[in-house]
Amino acid sequence: MKRVVAIVAGTMLSVGLLTSPASASILVVGSDNDFFFNNFENLFDSSGHWKAPSSAPVVGDHLAGIINIQNIDVEGTTHFFAGPTSQLTGIFAQRILDISSHGGITHLTLGNPTLTSYCRGADCFSTVGLLSPGEMFALYLQQGGGTTVFESNGTMLDDVSKATDGSLWVTLGINGDAFVYSHPILGVNPEGLAFGGLNVIQNNTGVTTFQGINDPNETEVGGTTVLTDLVVSSEFELNPNGFAGRALAKRPCPTSGCSPWEFRSNDPATVHPAIPEVSSLWLLGLGFGTIGAFGRRKWLG
């Protein structure tokens, strides 16, 4: 009987190893997980001081702000939805590495940040302890009672604090063949598109590995088969609730004040959690079962 129990336990362990990543994560393995998000950001100079949104960006400037994952969909079904007891939010910072022209379109190449402090007058926030060297994005998960809801209408410091007070879920950055670039239309009402392929740096998602995804937009950065853990494309524009957006629309700020973030952008991004290798996990579970089955015989001689 003990031998049978041991074999069953080993078999159950192998099955548990196969299914635990999916059950412990808000991601679904073996499928594209589409992130629908919005984020709010500002442009800062190479010293971390705020720049007006109509200012022309230069190499060394940084874009930094906060991000909110509204929902994660898999094959049209929502598997995560932001609400009062479920928040996946975070912080990001990007350095402008190069400004060039591609077919008459302004092309900004973005990379990992080199600054840790960002200020708009006396309103400052820091990425120390949030973004490590080589990291561009950090997402934090909060679930259950006491969850802090994402905001973009306080001070920058308050908004960052609320977006990063959960448990670190994942960080993303530029390593390997990863890339980020954007096409801004500059002027009084700047807007445009952004594209990227990022790799996971710190991984607390409950998923072991991610299948590389090929971004169809990557040809502009010189590759046709670049695979990264996450691909993203987004549209950005003036935040209609920011000071510049309100002024452009000739709408006064509400009594509570305008948003401190002058830009906003939105989705989507995609990751594909890989299915664990069945053979190795099954053999591991079978090995534990064998140890249990024959351990008694070994000790009894």
Count CB neighbours of 159 within 10 A. 24
Mean model confidence pLDDT for the chain: 85
Residue 216: predicted pLDDT: 74
Phi, psi of 239 (to 5 degrees): -70, 115
- In this predicted structure, the answer to whether residue 113 has a pLDDT above a threshold of 90 is yes
Query: What distance in Å separates the CA atoms of residue 60 and residue 47, rounded to the nearest whole number?
Result: 9
Give the tens place of pLDDT for each residue, 244-293: 999 999 999 998 889 999 999 998 999 999 986 554 444 444 444 444 44
Check whether 211 has a pLDDT greater than 70.
Answer: yes
Closest C-alpha among 29, 72, 73, 79 to residue 274? 29
pTM to 2 decimal places:
0.84
Q: What is the pLDDT of residue 222?
A: 63
Q: Is 84 a residue whose pLDDT tops 60?
A: yes
User: What's the token pair of residue 72?
Assistant: 């994660």
pLDDT single digits (tens) 192-206:
999 999 999 999 999
| Residue 17 pLDDT | 40
Measured distance CA(197)–CA(231) in Å, rounded: 4
Q: Note the pLDDT of residue 288.
A: 45
* C-alpha triplet 63, 34, 195: angle, nearest 5°: 35
User: Quick one: pLDDT at residue 224?
Assistant: 63
Residue 22 pLDDT > 70? no
Identify the pLDDT of residue 217.
72
| Residues 113, 95 contacting (CB under 8 angstroms) | yes
Summarised one tens digit per residue, pLDDT across range 50-72 is 999 999 999 999 999 999 999 99
Report the candidate in 269, 170, 270, 272 with the shortest Cα–Cα distance to residue 211: 272
Examine the pLDDT at 301 and tell me if it is beyond 80.
no
Question: What is the pLDDT, as a whole number, of residue 299?
Answer: 38
The whole-angstrom separation of Cα 50 and Cα 61 is: 10
